[in-house]
Amino acid sequence: MKKIEHIGIAVKDLEASNQVFAALLGKPHYKIEAVESEGVRTSFFETGPNKIELLEAISPNSPIAKFIERKGEGIHHIAFAVDDLEAEIERLVSQGFTILNTTPKKGADNKLVAFLHPKSTNGVLIELCQEIKS
């Protein structure tokens, strides 16, 4: 793994949260994007070499809606950048980690992603991200 790519934060109201984080970080978000397959709208802020991703549910059945219902707003996941997502999935499976999607899928911000089950990572949802090359 190369670095923490971003920290995902579940929010109820993306516009209101964008104002909070713009004030906190001293700069506006650089992108809003819907990820229909996950039922979310996302907003990204750059913070040095890392990012903050705000996630708002657009469907009451989305993982983010369910997360907020159970736990409230807050940190949802930590994402790590990787060079070869498929190789990293293989490595982690061989180490005993549970992968939620062993086939990488398209995520936000031009990334292929896979998630590790929190039960195998001390209760933290981990996202692996690989930049999609054009």
What is the pLDDT averaged over residues 112-127?
96
Closest CA to 37 of 109, 116, 105: 105
Predicted local confidence at residue 37, as pLDDT: 86
Burial of 49 (0-12, 13-18, 19+ CB in 10 A): exposed
DSSP readout, the chain? --EEEEEEEEES-HHHHHHHHHHHHTS--SEEEEEGGGTEEEEEEEETTEEEEEEEESSTTSHHHHHHHHH-SEEEEEEEE-S-HHHHHHHHHHTTPPBS-SS-EE-SSSEEEEEE-GGGTTT-EEEEEEEPP-
pLDDT tens for 101-111 read: 999 999 999 99
Predicted local confidence at residue 85, as pLDDT: 96
| Beta-carbon contacts of residue 12 (< 8 Å; ≥ 6 apart) | 56, 68, 73
| Structure confidence at residue 75 as a pLDDT band (50, 70, 90) | very high
This model's pTM is above 0.85? yes
What is the pLDDT averaged over residues 105-125?
95
Burial of 42 (0-12, 13-18, 19+ CB in 10 A): buried
**Which residue's structure tokens are 């990820």?**
35
Predicted local confidence at residue 133, as pLDDT: 86
pLDDT tens for 11-54 read: 999 999 999 999 999 999 999 999 998 899 999 999 999 999 99
- Give the rounded percent of residues in the chain with a pLDDT score beyond 70: 100
Predicted local confidence at residue 91, as pLDDT: 96
